[in-house]
Amino acid sequence: MAITREHVLHVAKLAHLDLTEEEVERFREQLSAILEAVSKVSELDLADVPPTSHPLDLVNVWREDEPRPSLSADEVFANAPDREDEFFKVPPTSEVREP
């Protein structure tokens, strides 16, 4: 099926991708071709077939709920781009308006 520019922008927003103009056009073409190919699955009438979400028939896999050592705070933050005290630091999540 043909994907429009609006489709690409909508999906990119859902996926948190800030695509460049060039990417929007390239992905529009490529995704159209890929979706056309994968849409083949709709040829089959599978109304009565149950879905497979997992290849093994495992149910209720438990382990003992025992306390174990966890990582120290310094280890947890070792790969963080930014931190402040015991927190991951990020840019403001909403606009701050001066009163």
**Contact positions vs other proteins (CB under 8 A):** 7-8, 11-12, 14-20, 23, 27, 30-31, 33-35, 37-42, 44, 46, 49-56, 58, 61, 63-64, 71, 75-76, 78-82, 88, 90-93, 95
How many other C-beta atoms can be found within 10 angstroms of the C-beta atom of residue 45? 7
The Cα 13–Cα 19 span in angstroms is 9
Provide the minimum distance between the beta carbon of 65 and other proteins in the complex, in angstroms, as a whole number.
11
Q: Which is nearer to other proteins, 5 or 35 (CB)?
A: 35
Provide the minimum distance between the beta carbon of 94 and other proteins in the complex, in angstroms, as a whole number.
8
The Cα 57–Cα 55 span in angstroms is 7
Provide the minimum distance between the beta carbon of 25 and other proteins in the complex, in angstroms, as a whole number.
13
Q: Which is nearer to other proteins, 57 or 99 (CB)?
A: 57
What are φ and ψ of residue 13, in 5° steps?
-70, -45
Q: Tokens representing 36?
A: 């056309």
Provide the minimum distance between the beta carbon of 69 and other proteins in the complex, in angstroms, as a whole number.
11
How many other C-beta atoms can be found within 10 angstroms of the C-beta atom of residue 27? 19
